[in-house]
Copies of this chain bind each other. A is one copy, B any other.
Amino acid sequence: MTTIYDVARAAGVDSSTVSYALSGKGTLSEATRARVIECARELGYRPNYVARSLVKRETRTLGLLVPDLSQPFYAELAQVAERVAHEKGYRVFVMSTLLDDELGRELLDDLSDRRVDGVIAVPGGIAPRAIHEARDAGLPILCCFWEEAKVDVPTSALVDFEAGGKIAADHLWNLGHRRIGLVTDLKGELEADHHLRVAGFQGALASRGQCFDPHLVGFGKSSVEASRDAALELLDAPEPPTAIFATSDIYAIGVLTAAWTRGVHVPADLSVVGFDDIVTSAYTVPPLTTIRIDKAAVMTVALESLMARVRDGSEAGSSLFVPSLVLRHSTGQAPMEA
């Protein structure tokens, strides 16, 4: 690998002059600058970013911690993050925690050791405590899509999940549905990761005097398989729901599959609404009606806020994103009462 020294020798100047010439910083004569640049080009010189990072104390690299990159939702986030960061000259390290707090901490430490300039943490496999430690250790860190309102994590792009849950409930209610099933997350024993979505959903129903029927809820456990099985149970019950709210599109897809398996027609016999609006949801059969989060907008705000913080320590105020209903073809009027 050719270094600035090689270029310096070739151009007959000092290495610092090469540095200046290439960065366009110092006060050099056009002649030398041109000569140096020419030599660099001829020698095929490429700057060594790791050396530069060492002295500048910045890597122009950001970390993105997600539960599982192979899931479309997170892949989308990663893609947006990459794009937004790239515009500002940053690159991003994406890492999957696989929902394992142990691994999450290891990866966070690793990101820190690699001296990334900041990290975006998306919930799942990453303990609030690990976040606090990282932040205390001086690593700029921002949380995104965090739903556990109770934990205090540094955020800048908030999503109003509760409003989303309410929108789903309202939509289904207005279509005449009264027996509405729920397929949602389950974390640990009782604590739901999607509990704000559920709260919004149940709150809207409760405000109409609809009481909560525990027989109508199934657990997706972060996988299509589990949500399909859960939906199968709901469908096989003596009094099956006429609609199901799945708290993520992944779960909704499981529900769709379950309905197909049982020959239940969507939306004629069963309405289903999802949450997230992942790319694939536009192409399910039937296309999925869902509660959309503007992932690109959220990530953009989060990243720009993070990069601003890194560069000039500015503390951006936080914006609130409220989800919207995307009407496609998986919901319809509730069947007539028998």
Contacts and interface: CB of A to CB of B under 8 A. Distances in A.
A26 interface: no
Interface residues of A, number: 51
B46 A50 contact: no
A254 interface: yes
Interface of A: 1, 44, 46-51, 53-54, 59, 68-72, 74-76, 78-79, 82-83, 91, 93-96, 109-110, 112-115, 137-138, 224, 228, 253-254, 256-257, 260, 279-280, 282-287
Contacts of A283: 224, 228, 253-254, 256-257
A75 B82 contact: no
Contacts of A69: 69, 75, 78-79, 82, 94
A79 B70 contact: yes
Given A79-B70, A138-B1, A50 B53 contact: yes
A45 B210 CA distance: 56
B46 A137 contact: yes
A48 B116 CA distance: 11
A51 B49 contact: no
B280 A256 contact: no
A104 to B, nearest CB: 13
Nearest to A227: B283
A50 B59 contact: yes
Assembly stoichiometry (copies): 2
Given A48-B115, A69-B69, 14 more contacts: A48-B54, A49-B115, A51-B54, A69-B79, A70-B75, A70-B79, A82-B95, A93-B93, A94-B94, A224-B283, A253-B283, A256-B285, A260-B285, A285-B285
Interface centre among A50, A53, A72 (most CB of B within 10 A): A50
Contacts of A82: 69, 94-96
A50 to B, nearest CB: 5
A71 B76 CA distance: 8
A59 B286 CA distance: 47
B44 A50 contact: no
Contacts of A112: 46
B50 A54 contact: yes
Given A44-B137, A54-B54, A94-B78, A260 B279 contact: no
Nearest to A259: B285
26 contacts: A44-B137, A46-B109, A46-B137, A48-B54, A48-B113, A49-B114, A50-B53, A69-B75, A69-B79, A70-B72, A70-B78, A70-B279, A71-B75, A72-B280, A78-B94, A79-B96, A82-B94, A91-B93, A91-B110, A91-B114, A93-B93, A94-B94, A253-B283, A254-B283, A257-B283, A285-B285
